[in-house]
Amino acid sequence: MHKFGDELGPERILEVYDPKLKYEAVVVIDNTALGPGKGGIRLVEDVTKEEVFGLARAMTYKNAMADIPFGGAKSGIAADPKKIDKEKVIRSFARLIKPLVPQYYIPGPDMNTTEKEMGYIADELKDKRAATGKPLSMGGLPHELGSTGFGVAQATAVAVEFLKKDISQCTVAIEGYGNVGTFTHKFLEEKGAKIVALSDSKGGIYNKNGIKYNRALEVKQKTGTVSEYEGTKIEGSKLFELDVDILIPGARPNVINESNYNKVKARLIVEAGNLPIKHEIEKKLAKKKILIIPDFVANAGGVISSYAEYIGMNKEQMFQLVEKKIKANTAKVLENAKDLDTRAAAVSIAKNKVLDAMAKN
């Protein structure tokens, strides 16, 4: 039997194997008290059941916090995305998980899966509600529209106001320049913030005069890395130590940890990536009067967009819904946080919603 579990879940764990294509996969449905489990498909060679459970629980909290009628779930396919026929694997996976979809589980994109793969799932199962984040041509609202980064920018704006600062006077450093990082940059720049540092897997760049979104995108596309932008090259890990107002970790887990939390100079951290800081380190940062907007509050734009797609909204309606929900939820967490422990406040709000729903079911 699995070694994790508590009063919320997980309710179901499905492990599958395709002997022809030789890949293993797991679906963890953590909790469906509020609705079918919602969560992306992570396609990485070393994915583990424990990791998928952790991500599924984060989705339970994220969906409850966002007040959308979805439970939490996640799936992982253990395969090297560069060495497989992705379409064959995704279509096979869709067939293997068909008994769960969409009644108990609705997949979406995650690491190494995109709108294209969500399209394969809906097509294979002949059901447009079998996945969200599908291409626009299939009536989808793909994550490529930037809903997650847009939500991160909204959460940042609310937190800046809470700190009684003016966003146009704030400097920002963003870790990670994929879908979330690029759109966070775009929407924060539109709000008047000055982005002075960026990093991706190949390195980082600092420019005190500001880094422009259009130019950064062009540099990334041409050279394969944002670190080729004009300015001072920095090691990716040094980004967290820069003298900026706002820090946005948007890629890897546990990037701010025991070894570097004391070097953080930012007054505000907005978690765009999942689990970038362990809770015990967040508490140490709070003691230093650093305000943190937790991941499942700040980066819920993607799943709110999934819900918008699920109920048939268009792009404009989706962005309005993301803005409304993220602003309200960020404000609610800030109002309820004691001693700046925003994660404890957010988990408490989300957990109570799930427990209430379980009591009624």
For residue range 106-142, list pLDDT tens digits in order. Answer: 999 988 999 999 999 999 999 999 999 999 999 999 9
pLDDT tens figures, 238-274: 999 999 999 999 988 899 999 999 999 999 999 999 8
Cis peptide before 107 (omega within 30 of 0): no
Distance CA 250, CA 275 (A): 10
Helices 115-124 + 86-96 axis angle, to 10: 50
Token pair belonging to 326: 């993220």
Global confidence as pTM = 0.92
Cα of 128 vs its chain's centroid, Å: 23
- Residue 93 pLDDT: 98
Paired with 19 in beta bridges are: none
Domains along the chain? 12-56+73-140 (3.40.50.10860), 147-301+328-348 (3.40.50.720)
Look up residue 100 and give its amino acid. Answer: L
Q: Is the predicted pLDDT of residue 1 greater than 70, yes or no?
A: no
Q: Is the predicted pLDDT of residue 144 greater than 90, yes or no?
A: no
- Give the number of other Cβ atoms within 10 Å of residue 111's Cβ: 13
Cβ(235)–Cβ(204) below 8 Å: yes
Nearest to 51 by CA among 72, 26, 69: 26
Is residue 325 part of the annotated active site? The answer reads no
Q: In what order do the strands lie in the sheet with 291-293?
A: 232-234, 203-206, 194-200, 171-175, 246-249, 268-270, 291-293
The arithmetic mean of pLDDT across residues 226-247, rounded, is 97
- Residue 252 pLDDT: 86
Q: Is the predicted pLDDT of residue 2 greater than 70, yes or no?
A: no
Please identify which of the residues 38, 62, 74, 353 carries the catalytic annotation: 74
- Residue 193 pLDDT: 98
Distance CA 265, CA 275 (A): 20
